Amino acid sequence: MRVLAIDDSRTIRDMVRLTLEREGIETQLAEDGIQGLEVLDTLDAPPDAILTDVNMPRLDGFGFINKVRERADYAGIPILVLTTESARELKLRARAAGATGWIVKPFDPARLVGALRTVTGLG
């Protein structure tokens, strides 16, 4: 499985990478929505799933998801939102933007990996 993870916090990026790579998931990282889009364009093939933070400089998570969903070749990529917010309103906004699901930070490693496996169908 190949995952693109976007978060403006280096700590969270490192944490996600450690969690995923321990499970043999190849992980690409980006620091904000703009870089996320740039990384997507540099990849030979789209990732199997994307994890994105919400609150980021330049282009936030919702804006990023909107942009990804606008592109026909990326429209079906499962996108999980990583957020510290658990308020329903935020989740509705994520859904409106086109998010597949959401994981609340601090995340439980097993849950994160499980959710990725579920949405990608890659056991």
Contact footprint for another protein (CB under 8 A): 1-2, 8-12, 14-15, 18, 21, 24, 26-31, 35, 38-39, 42, 44-46, 48, 55-57, 69, 75-80, 84-92, 95, 98-108, 111, 115, 117-123
Comparison of 63 and 85: residue with beta carbon closer to another protein: 85
Q: Which residue type occupies 4?
A: L
CB 59: neighbour CB atoms within 10 A?
A: 17
Q: How far is the CB of 108 from another protein (least distance, A)?
A: 7
Tally the C-alpha atoms within 13 A of residue 85's C-alpha that lie toward its C-beta. Answer: 13
In angstroms, what is the minimal distance from the CB of 65 to another protein?
A: 9
Q: What is the CB neighbour count within 10 angstroms for residue 21?
A: 12
Shortest separation between residue 63's beta carbon and another protein, angstroms: 13
**63/98 with CB nearer another protein:** 98
Strand 79-83 and strand 101-104: the pairing is parallel
* Residue 91 backbone dihedrals phi, psi, to 5 degrees: -70, -35
Question: 72: which residues sit within 8 A by CB, 6+ positions away?
Answer: none
Least distance from another protein to the Cβ atom of residue 82, Å: 9
Closer residue to another protein, CB minimum distance, 29 or 64: 29
